[in-house]
Amino acid sequence: MFVTFLKFAENRAAASQFMAAHNDWIAQGFADGVFLCVGSLQGAAGGAILAHKESRAAYDARIAADPFVVQGIVTAETYAVDPKRTAPNLDFLKVPA
């Protein structure tokens, strides 16, 4: 599982220009079954993504293809998480031992 923080960068002012492409990229992540949750960071600091079902290399490539990343609107910081305990409805996130 991955948690990615997309924090606004120097080119933040261009966000509105690339918002439609960014939203299409998000929609594709959901359609591919990779994204579980996407939302905004409080304080208008950027966004966050919770994802799974993809190798680290494939996920990093997906993040690098985000139009906001490509245009320098955000910088991405990704953490791999190995869930050990979850609510029952999130058991699918656990990696089998």
Question: Where in the chain are the domains?
Answer: 2-82
Looking at residue 6, what is its pLDDT? 99
Query: How many CA atoms lie less than 13 Å away from 26 in the CB half-sphere?
Result: 18
Looking at residue 74, what is its pLDDT? 99
Buried b (16+ CB within 10 A) or exposed e, 18-47: beeebeebbeebeeeebbbebeeeeeeebb
CATH of domain 2-82: 3.30.70.1060
Per-run averaged pLDDT (10 residues), the chain, 97 residues: 98 98 99 97 96 97 99 98 91 78
Looking at residue 94, what is its pLDDT? 82
Six token digits for residue 55: 């190798």
Looking at residue 97, what is its pLDDT? 59
